[in-house]
Structure 1
Amino acid sequence: MSGAVHRQRHGYKNGHQLLAGTVKLSRTDQDLVDRLSDISGPIRPGQLFEPYLTFYPLPSESYFVIAKTWQDRDAPRAGCVITQSVFLASEFWERGEGVRQAFAYLSKLTLDTESSLTDDDERDYRPLPSVGDERLPALVEALFLEDRKPIVVFDPRSSELITERLLLSLWPSARQSFAVCTFALGARKIGGRDFDLVFAPNEARSKFADWTGRRIESGASAAPARHRWTTQVVERIFLSEAPSLPLSSLPDVLQRGDRNDESVLRLSLLWEELSQRASSSKTAALGLLDILNSQNVRLAAAPQMKLVLDHAIGMAEVSTDAEDAWSFLTALSAKISPSELTLFSERLTDAAMTLTRRDPMGSTANVSALRTQNRDIPKSLLRGLGEGLATPELNVAASNSFQLSTDLMMALFAASPGFAHALLSPAALENTAYAADLAQEIAQSDSDRRRELRANILPCLSSPEAVDILKALLRTASPDDVLEAVETIARKTRFEESAFDAPLIEAAIDADALVAVRNLAIDYVDLSGADRFLLATLRAEEGDVLWLAALNNVDRRNALAKEFVDRLDQRDLMRLLRHTAARDELLAMLAEDPQTTASQLTRVLASANTSITRTAELGIAAWPWIGSSEREQLATRALERTMRDSKSADWPLTDRFFAVAAPSLSGRQLVQFASPATAPAPLVGHNIALLDSVKPVAKMVTPYLSELTERLVRRFDNLGPDAYVAWARLLSNADPREASTVHVAAATFEYAMQVTRFPASPLAAAAFPIFYRHLPTKKEVGLFWTEIDRRKSARRLLVDAFTDSKWPPADLILTAIEADITEKVVGLISRGYRAEAYVTQITNDAERLEPRLRKAVLKALQSEFDLDY
């Protein structure tokens, strides 16, 4: 035999012992073979028995032993036997073909010889006859359908045939460990346990008095089967042509292959029974599902179940017993894992929708009852209920017949888009109490429920009455939730509902998703509402302006910047402009099209502390496009800073702005701006020159010359020649007949007398003639001298100021000519110290004058001095 690896022969030789063999076993294995090769009990005198078979595994599991034992009638003592033991490889014994070969081999094995068979001979199997024994049902029940215990069968009629059929039916793993003996005069043990099955003659019943296993007595009449599958198993094992256990209907995933056992058999029998009933019974389908769940088997591993469950759902769908149908669908859903329930979601929804449309009120009542029993209604069934209720004919929103509980209504909103659309139309939400109650319920829901509600309710919201519902839906929303909400609202309303702006923006801020929301909204290029929404997201914060400045669509960016500035109140704008980057970016955007943004640009310039030159540059650009009030605002802010803080490097640009902007202010403002007390002398001097450089400005300033003079005479630093010339020119433009002009001239002359170290001679030249003419007619002109002859004192002050300073000497003569006191002044010069030298200085200085003036100077001197001109 191809699977026979080794053999041993046992018999009597001074006792029962090993006579021959081809294998050396371990002590434990050999002791077992020595013991089991002997008969298991004493033989009565004269008792004869037929050869019997023994099958068992070795403790080491190295081999499986099949043995045939004969009664040794030639032995010198009674009760001796001869046993041929064959050691089979485990993998050979696992195969059913190996069992057939083993029995074929044993049937040809004789007492005296060993058959030497070829594989062809071994495969010439005899057909297996069926077994007729009324005790077979009891044997099957003991082996497979009840708790396993060792079994003894008394007085069997076909022990070898029963054994062969049984071994052929067993699973490979069970066959490897199954120990059986076809003739035993007492209990047989292996490794401390009883054989699984032994057959014994009636005479040996007393030897089994202490037997703790199952006993199947001889002559027993056929008892009724204790299990509904008994007959089926008996037929499969002992009556069919090919003995087997009924496992074929069981899905492969529930079988254990070579390791199947009695529990798998019982599972298979139950599966086959339920499968047959499932075509007409919904509960049978639930039973099949229970089997899978009890074995932790997923539906995907048993694809045939998809058809079974679909059929069961179909039976529920057409059932006239709505209560039973809803209960079944709920139970079915509960038995399917959430991940696999999606396979049936559409089918369950369709069934629930059909049931609801057939009996809407009954379906609602059934679902409500199931929920009160704490039965978990899956979303797919709730969706079907909601969609079934959401028909125009039912008009659930306007009907009080359905008596939906708040909890069930919220569940339907979360599960059914159609239900949400039916109950959340703009017309329905005009009921403010209904909308408020719904918003409150949503707000009190947990975050998972709100996420489900958002999915179905957001696409329904389009009217301002829904704003509180939107707020409730967005409570504690995550960044992704907020983005999804904004996108949904955008698709539904095209951002046309401004009432939704605030809830969406507040939720975005709370979720730290405001920038992401803006980035989403900016993609809606053609929607005017999108720009409104974007503007609503922009706050008076640096980051918001930087986001706006980074947009690629320049036209849209600048338009948004313009609107953004308009929306800011002055306080927020001032706070924003403290951030340098925000200020610069905002100005850059507005400056790209000053004609369009002139008003906003002016406001920012007037509020921002940007550089003086930048202010001047942008102010010039915006000036043609702004109104008078804006011009005044910009000019006030910019010129005040310019005339207080500018540097000489700024003047080329700031002077241009001054020429444009100064006429928008009053003369008094300009006087005040031009003469700040804290500004350095060069800047004040430049400012005075500016006042005179623009004719309209000079004209505006003249009425306020007294105020300007009052502010300037307090300074005793060098304002520079241009300033003194401008000051003098402003004084010259004033009406000399006005008392105020005379006072200004007197104050100016007095100031000039104190700053002879500076090039202030133009002041003296301009002021002296004005106030000098009024000395005879006015006793008090504000001078500090007290002589009675005030004119004489004035003349001397004038001459001393020129002769004692570096002032241009010719200007003294020109001043005298203007005051019509030439002779008196020349006389004072002639009587002075070093008169000739000073006259020389005058004549030399006169060379710079134009011919007419030079001639007048020289002519005036000739009255006292001999000059050749």
Structure 2
Amino acid sequence: MIIEQQLHGYRQGHELLSGTIRLPPRDQDLVDRLSDLAGPLAPGEKFAPYLTCYPLPSGTHYVLARTWQDREAPRAGCVRTRSLIIPMVEWMSDVDPWTLSAVVTDVGPTAPCKRLSVEAPKGRPLPPVDGAGIELLEALFLEDSSAVAVFGASSPDLIALRILTAIWPSMRRRYTISTFCNSPRTIAKKSFDLVFAPIDARPNFSDWKGRRIDGSRSGSARHPWASRIVEAVFRAPHPSLSELDVFGEMAGDEEGSVQSLRLSMLWEELSRKVDVEPHAALGLLDIANTRSSRRADLVAGLTPAFARAAQAAVANFPPAEAWRFLQVLISKLGNTRWRLSLARSIRSLTASFAAQHPRDAVVAIPSLLEEEGGDFLLSGIAQGLSDAVPFEPVAHMLAELAGRNLLRTVLAAPELIPMTLGVESGIEQPLLHSMADASADERSQAHRRMLPHLVVDKHVDLLSDCLSEPTAQQVVSEVEHLLQANGLQQPMLNGVIVQVARRVGASRDILDVVVRAKNSDIVYTMLKDLIQPTPTDVDWILDTFKDADPRRATLLIDTLQEASRDELQSIFGRAGHLRRVTAVIRSDARSTELLARIAESVPMPAGDLLPLVIEILPDLAGRRGSVLAAKCLYEALVQGSDPSYDKQLATLIDRTGTEVDAQRAIRVGIAADLATPIVSRNLVLFDAAAPVTRKRFINELEALTDMVMARRTLDITYQAAEAASRMLWDSASVNKRGYVRASARLLPYVMEQHGPSASALLVAVFPPVYRELQQESLPEFLSFVFMFLDWDRCKIARRGLAQAALHSRWRPRDVAFAAARAGDAERILRTIAKRDGGMSFLTSVSNDITSIPEPAKKQVWRAIKQIRSDSSLRGKLPFDV
């Protein structure tokens, strides 16, 4: 190591005498000043050579100077000073201050300057410092940083060299020491860090703002760390504070601060206390968290101590303070692998602690969760709460937690959710409110955890929340779970499933699960609520349940009763479905109402509608049955004829009552384009209808007349013509004038028909016309019936009737019956008798006279008897021919 030097002394004053280096002006000015004596000497005062150590302002070199008193100088107070100019790099490395002090001393105060090559020997032990020193080291390293002045020290050079040797490089780089001065020394107006002065010089330090220490006095240690520092600096053969550097940071400290040393000392002290004073662990963590370079090694080494501190806190602190300690401990560890290494022991500890003091644990939860580290402790707390016996009081306490705290707590331990949900604690609503404040991830986790345990009705709101946004498959899986857990016997839970299934379109899949449950009123209700009045759901009922299963009919009825008109039309608009459903529900007493709605709402062929209406009519009271009967009558009238159908149709007509549209029924049922058998049947059934219904028909004479006359040929059966005749005849009692007009219209038509059916109508239409002809004033509408060429209109009518009767296949008894009703049987029959074949005609009447009802029969018999007794009939009477 090459060292430059300068020698200062008295020539024309105190000045540079020789040197091996030219320094910058500022650096040189400082060396020039500090090489001189500080403070005046008293007359005759002598002093031993002393050291002055300081950095140059440029920072390139450090100065270690030895000053001797120059007794040969011409004036008092002169000194000679040899300054070693040491490169700062070398000074901060392994240079030995003791060796440099020896070099400058050996060269002495007079030898001319030359460059020195110095090899610093390694490992040279230094003599110890006896006596005073504790107070000095406390002031330098353990108290607030300030300049120190030591008065009356016995070995200042040794003290200074040991301190320079012990301190770390960055501190040595800036450290300033003078082992003798009669007044304060400064650099750039800043006092030296450490100066030594005679006791007599103390008055010169009256303005000293730093610390004053009596170097002649042995003081006792005021700091617990002082003895360690004294041993390292003043006693050890090789002075070094690095041995106390727990963190290994002082060697790289750029600022030269004593803070690292103090923290190292504090670290060692806390490490010794951690087993008996748990809070010491927190202090260690605080220190470790400030030492980024060594943090990993430091914390890893203390992990067992942290565990012991936690155990001590739990064992000795009040519960609230213990929880606070654990929270602070975890928060200071942060999210690191060291916390993970402590996780098992801390979790076990907190679980045990919470189980022993559950109330205190629950009370602590809100404050713990407000601070960092609370989440880490929560899992252990939750585990401990789940182990508490009895558990029900714990559940009640948990229910009092506000906001997200409850949800975060029950999620912290898998066992806690089933336990809280399994007791009567009223926790369900608090849990629901807690989820409302939770994050999306927390809600999702809560839903997954809770669903397996939501199996009774008190959980209904929680289940609804858990299934707020499910997939169809998730809903099916939940129903499968509930089937296993409670057999679907919880109606409120079932209601949630039904609502969700409808929302996500999973009703059919849910039905396939529910139908496997043991039947009960609750399960049946769930089935009913899941089924909608749609064709596919109706088919599902029909296909799923066996004939013997009573649910088949009741579900069908319950489902269809809820259907709208459009829905019923959609369901039964398909071929065969009405018969299939009717066959299933027929035995149920409620089927009548349902079938009536179907008949009222669904357009269907008469072949389907009529049997349906016929079946339910006996059980439909009042007007509704009549309206329904009337509704299907008009379609039924045009259907083909067979005995069973005709019987049903007769029942239908009877039931229509006052609701029947008789005119429409007549125009539909006797339409000209309708087959003869159907028309004949309809006329017979109209006539045979119940009195109330029949009265409606006989009031529609015009329609009846129109429809009969619309048939070009009166091809209806004789029985049908008789029925029409009876209705026409009976209409006189309700509308005589209309009856007469109808008869007047029908008689010409009938007179032109040659079949026997015409004679049956003649019985009703001839009498009123004949009677009107007997009146003096003839209505205009009768003028078209006969061609009246004689003043005797009745004679013309008799002749026309006789002509038609003898030239057709009319039944003679009908002609006689009509004559009797006309009130002129003898004259009418006599007119016929006078014609060719007339007597044979009368014989036919006589043979069939028993079929003529009274009193007409008596009139006819009397007329025939009178005619036969008249001998004049053996020849023709010109008047009547």
**Same fold per TM (> 0.5)?**
yes
Alpha-carbon distance between aligned partners in 1 of 2:699 and 2:713, rounded to the nearest angstrom: 14
Residues 189 and 250 of structure 1, relative CA distance in 2, 3 Å threshold:
same
Name the counterpart of 1:866.
none
Verify: 1:177 aligned to 2:146, yes or no.
Answer: no
Name the counterpart of 2:506.
549
Residues 337 and 747 of structure 1, relative CA distance in 2, 3 Å threshold:
same
Verify: 1:132 aligned to 2:87, yes or no.
Answer: no
Q: Tell whether the 8 Å contact from 1:151 to 1:216 is kept in structure 2 after alignment.
A: yes
- State the shift of 1:311 in Å: 4.1
Write out per-residue CA displacement over residues 591-640 of structure 1, whole angstroms, 9 at most, x where no aligned residue.
34523265435543442332724433294485276221365444322331
2:301 pairs with one of 304, 309, 314: 304
Write out per-residue CA displacement over residues 497-536 of structure 1, whole angstroms, 9 at most, x where no aligned residue.
6444435446658x88999984762463861637556983
Name the counterpart of 2:660.
710
- State the shift of 1:545 in Å: 0.8
Name the counterpart of 2:39.
41
Q: Tell whether the 8 Å contact from 2:151 to 2:197 is kept in structure 1 after alignment.
A: yes
Verify: 1:596 aligned to 2:544, yes or no.
Answer: yes
Residues 418 and 264 of structure 1, relative CA distance in 2, 3 Å threshold:
same
2:481 pairs with one of 524, 528, 535: 524
Write out per-residue CA displacement over residues 72-102 of structure 1, whole angstroms, 9 at most, x where no aligned residue.
6787766555656566565544434475776
Name the counterpart of 1:728.
679
Residue identity opposite 2:685 in structure 1: A
Larger mean CA deviation between 130-139 and 80-89 belongs to 80-89
Write out per-residue CA displacement over residues 792-825 of structure 1, whole angstroms, 9 at most, x where no aligned residue.
553247689xxxxxxxxxxx76695573759x99
Alpha-carbon distance between aligned partners in 2 of 1:132 and 1:635, rounded to the nearest angstrom: 121
Write out per-residue CA displacement over residues 413-462 of structure 1, whole angstroms, 9 at most, x where no aligned residue.
98421215x444xxxxxxxxx8xxx8875554424564436866543368
Residue identity opposite 2:601 in structure 1: R
- State the shift of 1:161 in Å: 3.0
Name the counterpart of 2:208.
211
Name the counterpart of 1:700.
648
Name the counterpart of 2:229.
233
Alpha-carbon distance between aligned partners in 2 of 1:255 and 1:721, rounded to the nearest angstrom: 125
Q: Tell whether the 8 Å contact from 1:635 to 1:661 is kept in structure 2 after alignment.
A: yes
Name the counterpart of 1:616.
573
Instruction: Provide the secondary structure at the position in 1 that maps to 2:208.
Output: coil
Instruction: Provide the secondary structure at the position in 2 that maps to 1:336.
Output: helix
Q: Tell whether the 8 Å contact from 1:64 to 1:88 is kept in structure 2 after alignment.
A: yes
Verify: 1:750 aligned to 2:702, yes or no.
Answer: yes
Residues 235 and 773 of structure 1, relative CA distance in 2, 3 Å threshold:
closer
Residues 42 and 484 of structure 1, relative CA distance in 2, 3 Å threshold:
closer
Name the counterpart of 1:819.
760
Name the counterpart of 1:639.
599
Verify: 1:794 aligned to 2:746, yes or no.
Answer: yes
Residues 665 and 336 of structure 1, relative CA distance in 2, 3 Å threshold:
same
Q: Tell whether the 8 Å contact from 1:181 to 1:197 is kept in structure 2 after alignment.
A: yes
Instruction: Provide the secondary structure at the position in 1 that maps to 2:212.
Output: strand
2:264 pairs with one of 250, 254, 268: 268
Residues 308 and 796 of structure 1, relative CA distance in 2, 3 Å threshold:
same
Instruction: Give the number of aligned pairs.
Output: 729
Verify: 1:289 aligned to 2:245, yes or no.
Answer: no
Residue identity opposite 1:419 in structure 2: A
Instruction: Provide the secondary structure at the position in 1 that maps to 2:602.
Output: helix
Name the counterpart of 1:446.
402
Counting only pairs closer than 5 Å after superposition, residues 224-623 of structure 1 correspond to structure 2 as: 224-245=220-241, 248=244, 250=246, 257=253, 259=255, 261-276=257-272, 282-283=276-277, 285-293=278-286, 302-311=299-308, 333=326, 336-338=329-331, 340=333, 347=345, 415-420=384-389, 422-424=390-392, 443-447=399-403, 450-451=406-407, 452=409, 458-460=417-419, 466=424, 468=426, 470=428, 474=432, 476-478=434-436, 498-502=456-460, 504-505=462-463, 518=475, 521-522=478-479, 524=481, 527=484, 529=486, 531-532=488-489, 536-538=493-495, 544-549=501-506, 555-556=512-513, 566-567=524-525, 587-592=535-540, 594-596=542-544, 599=553, 600-606=555-561, 607-608=563-564, 609-610=566-567, 612-617=569-574, 619-620=577-578, 622-623=580-581
CA RMSD after TM alignment: 5.9
Alpha-carbon distance between aligned partners in 2 of 1:760 and 1:134, rounded to the nearest angstrom: 155
Counting only pairs closer than 5 Å after superposition, residues 164-203 of structure 1 correspond to structure 2 as: 164-202=161-199
Verify: 1:143 aligned to 2:140, yes or no.
Answer: yes
Q: Tell whether the 8 Å contact from 2:150 to 2:196 is kept in structure 1 after alignment.
A: yes
Residue identity opposite 1:703 in structure 2: T
Residue identity opposite 1:711 in structure 2: D
Alpha-carbon distance between aligned partners in 1 of 2:697 and 2:479, rounded to the nearest angstrom: 67
Counting only pairs closer than 5 Å after superposition, residues 773-788 of structure 1 correspond to structure 2 as: 773-774=725-726, 778=730, 780=732, 782-783=734-735, 785=737
Residue identity opposite 1:225 in structure 2: A
Residues 723 and 674 of structure 1, relative CA distance in 2, 3 Å threshold:
farther
- State the shift of 1:237 in Å: 0.7
Residues 24 and 713 of structure 1, relative CA distance in 2, 3 Å threshold:
farther
Residues 776 and 128 of structure 1, relative CA distance in 2, 3 Å threshold:
closer
Q: Tell whether the 8 Å contact from 2:637 to 2:682 is kept in structure 1 after alignment.
A: no
Q: Tell whether the 8 Å contact from 2:152 to 2:198 is kept in structure 1 after alignment.
A: yes
Counting only pairs closer than 5 Å after superposition, residues 628-667 of structure 1 correspond to structure 2 as: 628=586, 629=588, 631-643=591-603, 658=609, 661-662=612-613, 664-666=615-617
Write out per-residue CA displacement over residues 34-89 of structure 1, whole angstroms, 9 at most, x where no aligned residue.
43243323456776666543322345656544445556678776655565656656
- State the shift of 1:236 in Å: 0.8
1:687 pairs with one of 627, 630, 635: 635
Alpha-carbon distance between aligned partners in 2 of 1:523 and 1:63, rounded to the nearest angstrom: 87
Q: Tell whether the 8 Å contact from 1:9 to 1:21 is kept in structure 2 after alignment.
A: no
- State the shift of 1:194 in Å: 0.7
Residue identity opposite 1:162 in structure 2: I
Q: Tell whether the 8 Å contact from 1:674 to 1:687 is kept in structure 2 after alignment.
A: no
Residues 535 and 329 of structure 1, relative CA distance in 2, 3 Å threshold:
closer
Instruction: Provide the secondary structure at the position in 1 that maps to 2:163.
Output: helix
Residues 665 and 297 of structure 1, relative CA distance in 2, 3 Å threshold:
farther
Please identify the structure whose Cα radius of gyration is greater. Answer: 2
Instruction: Provide the secondary structure at the position in 2 that maps to 1:56.
Output: strand
Alpha-carbon distance between aligned partners in 1 of 2:344 and 2:650, rounded to the nearest angstrom: 92
- State the shift of 1:222 in Å: 2.2
Alpha-carbon distance between aligned partners in 2 of 1:814 and 1:226, rounded to the nearest angstrom: 152
Write out per-residue CA displacement over residues 809-859 of structure 1, whole angstroms, 9 at most, x where no aligned residue.
xxx76695573759x99xx99989xxxxxxxxxxxxxxxxxxxxxx999xx
Residue identity opposite 1:604 in structure 2: T
Unpaired segments of 5 or more residues in structure 2? 334-338, 375-379, 546-551, 767-782, 788-807, 811-834, 836-881
- State the shift of 1:174 in Å: 2.5
Q: Tell whether the 8 Å contact from 1:595 to 1:622 is kept in structure 2 after alignment.
A: no
Residue identity opposite 2:387 in structure 1: G
Residues 692 and 419 of structure 1, relative CA distance in 2, 3 Å threshold:
farther
Alpha-carbon distance between aligned partners in 1 of 2:299 and 2:316, rounded to the nearest angstrom: 29
Verify: 1:53 aligned to 2:39, yes or no.
Answer: no
Write out per-residue CA displacement over residues 157-184 of structure 1, whole angstroms, 9 at most, x where no aligned residue.
4433322221222233332322112332
Q: TM-score, normalized by length of structure 2?
A: 0.65
Alpha-carbon distance between aligned partners in 2 of 1:344 and 1:257, rounded to the nearest angstrom: 32
Q: Tell whether the 8 Å contact from 1:51 to 1:69 is kept in structure 2 after alignment.
A: yes
Instruction: Provide the secondary structure at the position in 1 that maps to 2:544.
Output: helix
Residue identity opposite 1:610 in structure 2: E
Residues 445 and 93 of structure 1, relative CA distance in 2, 3 Å threshold:
same
Name the counterpart of 2:93.
95
Write out per-residue CA displacement over residues 560-610 of structure 1, whole angstroms, 9 at most, x where no aligned residue.
9x999952799x89xx97xxxxx6xx6535534523265435543442332
Name the counterpart of 1:867.
none
- State the shift of 1:333 in Å: 3.3
Identical counterparts, % of pairs = 21
Residues 354 and 663 of structure 1, relative CA distance in 2, 3 Å threshold:
closer
Alpha-carbon distance between aligned partners in 2 of 1:185 and 1:49, rounded to the nearest angstrom: 11
Alpha-carbon distance between aligned partners in 2 of 1:501 and 1:346, rounded to the nearest angstrom: 34
